[in-house]
Chains A and B, each alone.
Chain A
Amino acid sequence: MDITNKKILVCDDSILARKQLMDAVKEVADGGTFIEGVNGQDAVDKYKAEKPDIVFMDIVMPEKDGTTALAEIKEFDNDAVIIIVSSVGTQEQLKKAIQLGAKDFIQKPFEKNQIKEIIELRLGGK
């Protein structure tokens, strides 16, 4: 799958999680521009600056958590495609993320197939 013209924002305070996520996307798709964010505020700032096609974002992050960042990004762009990738998934947090407009929730540690499905679904048809 060719995603040459697509921008992907990967936001996680863990450098390992960012690397593994980018590795997983690269395995299923060619091209694409990766933008990295290290906390919730960074995610909001980089979203506004780059307008990525898809955002993968953790919940537990320093400075600003993923749920707050999600709300701020959706306020800026209601069409933002945001996928929560987190090990933390209480029913309350899940409900909140979905209410705020998250498109999907991936539980860590994720399988590469899950990333593939998301990429195909969210970027394949565009």
Chain B
Amino acid sequence: MYTQFLGNYLLQQGLVTQDQLFNAMSRLSQTHIKLGTIAIHEGLMTANEVDECLYVQTREDKRFGEIAVERGYLLEDQVSELLSMQTPEFLLLGQNLVEDGIFSYEELERVMFDYKSDTELYDLSLDVENQDAVENIISKFFVMAELQPNDLNVMYLELMFNSLIRFIGEDFTPLTPMVLDEFPITFGVTQMVVGDHEFETHIDCDRETAIAFSSRYAKEDFGEFNEYIVAALEDFLNLHNGLFIVNVSNQLSKDISLSPPYITEEGVISGPNKCVDFPVAYPFGTVHLIVAF
């Protein structure tokens, strides 16, 4: 999830445009990490040293690792170690942005440093995401919305991001959440979570976005708006909420259940307290996850 968080950070800081980010995100699955990127991340080379080796590489027919060893920036053992490392995806996002000319390696190094300070992610383990760190960042989404984070709502949002990665695709960026008195519905589906912990959930988007979202979920190409689109949105929300209540029930021994999801095409969503809009931007459009507590 660090990749999606990094995307959110870059957008918030105005360091990339949404189009630049989507372009870089869309190539993640085809991207291979470069030795220079990972060497910077591991603190073994500076951005300037990497740039120098890349420059030499354009003039000499040698591998990056060979050049870095020749110049004394890396030991041979370190090259082997770097090459065998698991690559965290957020590094690929940074590398793609460098390749697109959005950042230099030096700027990327600085951005990553600032990002780590901002999110207090000092221990960015290479292949395993630290659960506390993820929860810490998720909590910040609630703080951004001026809402008190607690175990349940942090769990809900974390699960939502995971569900999106798992069932729709990893190429999304969570945008800044907003607290609203009421949310005007464009089109979407709603489902109530009832029991010890009651709240209303809603997925909202325009119809074109719904077609793309549902096509990805159902792994079918729905060319036009039809009843399957609505059903896929309902299924996704029901599935996600289902996973949530299973977690809550198994971990916290709370008794909660779900009402069947239903289509909502007009009106507003409003809860006894506040609504929170958690927008996520996909290349095909923005989807709003609304939770009315």
Q: Which of A1-9, A43-51, A87-95 contacts B (4 or more CB under 8 A)?
A: A87-95
A20-B239 Cα distance, complex, nearest whole Å: 15
B228 touching A86, Cβ below 8 Å = no
A122, CB-defined interface residue at 8 Å? no
Q: How far is the CB of A82 from chain B (nearest CB, A)?
A: 19
Check if B246 sits within 8 Å of A88, measured CB to CB: yes
B1 at the interface (CB under 8 A from A): no
Pair B232/A16 contact, Cβ less than 8 Å? yes
A90 to B249 Cα, complex, angstroms: 6
Which residues of B in the span 190-229 have a Cβ within 8 Å of any Cβ on A?
Answer: 218, 227-228
CB of B45 closer than 8 Å to a CB of A: no
Question: Do the beta carbons of B249 and A15 come within 8 Å of each other?
Answer: no
CA distance A15 to B167 in the complex (A): 18
CA distance A88 to B260 in the complex (A): 12
A14 at the interface (CB under 8 A from B): yes
- Please indicate the chain A residues that have their CB under 8 angstroms from the CB of B250 in the complex: 90-91
**Chain A residues within 8 Å of B259, by CB:** 60
Asked whether any CB of chain A lies closer than 8 Å to the CB of B185, the reply is no
Cross-chain contact A60 with B242 (CB below 8 angstroms)? yes
Which chain B residues lie closer than 8 Å to A108 at the CB level?
235, 239, 242
- Residues from chain A with a CB closer than 8 A to the CB of B258 are 60, 88
Chain B, Cβ-Cβ closest to A19 = B228
Chain B residues whose C-beta falls within 8 Å of the C-beta of A19 in the assembled complex? 228
A14-B235 Cα distance, complex, nearest whole Å = 7
Q: Which of B155-185 contact A (CB under 8 A)?
A: 167
At the interface, yes or no: B98 with Cβ under 8 Å from chain A? no
Selected A-B contacts with CB under 8 Å, 9 pairs: A15-B228, A60-B242, A60-B258, A87-B239, A87-B242, A88-B238, A89-B242, A91-B249, A91-B250
11 extra A-B contacts, CB within 8 A, seeds A14-B231, A108-B239, A108-B242: A15-B227, A15-B231, A16-B228, A16-B232, A17-B231, A19-B228, A60-B258, A60-B260, A61-B260, A88-B245, A88-B246
